[in-house]
Amino acid sequence: MSNKRIDQPTGTETVGHEWDGIEELNTPLPRWWLYTFYATIAWALVYVVLYPAWPMIDRASAGTLGWSSRGDLAREMSAADAARQGVFEKIAATDIEKLPASPELMNQAIAGGAAAFKVNCVQCHGAGAAGSPGYPNLNDDDWIWGGTLSEIQYTITHGVRWDGEDATRVNFMPAFATMFEPAQVDALAAHVMSLSGKAKDNAAGAQLFAENCAACHGPTGAGTPALGAPALNDAIWLFGGTEADVKKQILKPRHGVMPAWQGRLDPVTIKMLAAYVHSRGGGQDPAPVQTATAPEGKVAQAPEADSDG
């Protein structure tokens, strides 16, 4: 039945088929190839026993070693956590105003704060912390509530006007809609614009400002962080910088709301966020900057809403 024969020139057996006089030699596999092949089979069998391999209905067979990629990930994560824990503890133990004294720790805090900012803050303050109308830019040197590390930390911890947070920051601007004639509002708005060189000043506006606004915004419009009254003389605007925006704020003031993060973020994350915000370029150092920008006759008391006008 078989047409196998020994091929004379090569001495090799043929496979037994013949096509138009052409026959195929049954050349044996090279030894090294064959043993490698057996080795891979042996390896596969061992692997199937030790590791998850065999597809089942909802998962693969478990394998006798109990290894899983999920478990591997969990192990790597907890190793990374342990490494971070050391840094966390150091940051927790360091007073926030002393952080800059250890540049390495400060840098780690800033990096951690940048990551937390992306998750918690960008929806209001913008990806680059540049803000938008109603949401302050955190990159500039203009601070409603003060720009030292501890002031920023306080703002983030307690928020602004945040319901249910006892220590939240509260600022208030009275509505002057019923107090001023339209011409007085025009004069005031022009005076406010003149503080940043955007309009010509006028005596009536300056007078009204001194009587009604200076108590909070300062005689020169430099702002009063203790009251959360923003500077009006730096061409940086929270609610828009046109004369129309300024009039709107005088007649029907807007008030920003910022969530308190204490309870939602741990104190170390808040500290790192403060370090990050402070590092954005406009951070202030504790004492000297404050006195340099505040006018001499800084008024610490807000006037009564029914003061004359």
What region, left, alpha or beta, does residue 134 occupy, with left being phi > 0 and alpha being psi -120 to 50 degrees?
left
Which residue, 88 or 117, is less far from ligand HEC as judged by CB?
117
- Residue 228 interacts with ligand HEC (CB under 6 A)? yes
- Residue 143 interacts with ligand HEC (CB under 6 A)? yes
- Residue 275 interacts with ligand HEC (CB under 6 A)? no
Q: Which stretch binds ligand HEC (CB under 6 A): 25-33, 84-92, 100-108, 222-230?
A: 222-230
Residues 58-117 that bind ligand HEC (CB under 6 A): 117
What region, left, alpha or beta, does residue 66 occupy, with left being phi > 0 and alpha being psi -120 to 50 degrees?
left
Give least dist CB 189 to ligand HEC, A.
7
Give least dist CB 294 to ligand HEC, A.
15
Contact present, 24 and 14 (Cβ < 8 Å)? yes
Q: Which stretch binds ligand HEC (CB under 6 A): 36-44, 50-58, 98-106, 207-215?
A: 207-215
Contact present, 233 and 136 (Cβ < 8 Å)? no
Which residue, 96 or 213, is less far from ligand HEC as judged by CB?
213
| Number of Cβ atoms within 10 Å of the Cβ of 28 | 9
CA-to-CA distance for 139 and 131, rounded, in angstroms?
A: 9
What region, left, alpha or beta, does residue 135 occupy, with left being phi > 0 and alpha being psi -120 to 50 degrees?
beta
Give least dist CB 226 to ligand HEC, A.
11
- Residue 154 interacts with ligand HEC (CB under 6 A)? no
C-alpha distances out from residue 267 to 45, 94, 170, 294, Å: 52, 12, 21, 31
Q: Which stretch binds ligand HEC (CB under 6 A): 22-30, 38-46, 148-156, 196-204?
A: 148-156
Query: Which letter, b or e, does each residue of 195-220 get, where b requires 16 or more Cβ atoms within 10 Å of its Cβ?
Result: bbeebeeeeebbebbeebbbbbbbbb
- Residue 303 interacts with ligand HEC (CB under 6 A)? yes
- Residue 192 interacts with ligand HEC (CB under 6 A)? yes
- Residue 268 interacts with ligand HEC (CB under 6 A)? no
C-alpha distances out from residue 179 to 113, 216, 251, 304, Å: 45, 17, 9, 13
Q: From the list 135, 294, 295, 299, which residue makes contact with ligand HEC (rule: CB under 6 A)?
A: 135
Contact present, 7 and 14 (Cβ < 8 Å)? yes
Q: Which stretch binds ligand HEC (CB under 6 A): 37-45, 84-92, 103-111, 172-180?
A: 172-180
Q: From the list 187, 277, 290, 293, which residue makes contact with ligand HEC (rule: CB under 6 A)?
A: 277
CA-to-CA distance for 201 and 190, rounded, in angstroms?
A: 6
Residue type, 124: C
Q: From the list 88, 96, 112, 145, which residue makes contact with ligand HEC (rule: CB under 6 A)?
A: 145
Sites of contact with ligand HEC (CB under 6 A): 117, 120-121, 123-125, 134-136, 138, 143-145, 152, 155-156, 160, 171-174, 176, 188, 192, 212-213, 215-217, 227-230, 232, 237-239, 246, 249-250, 255-259, 261, 273, 277, 302-303
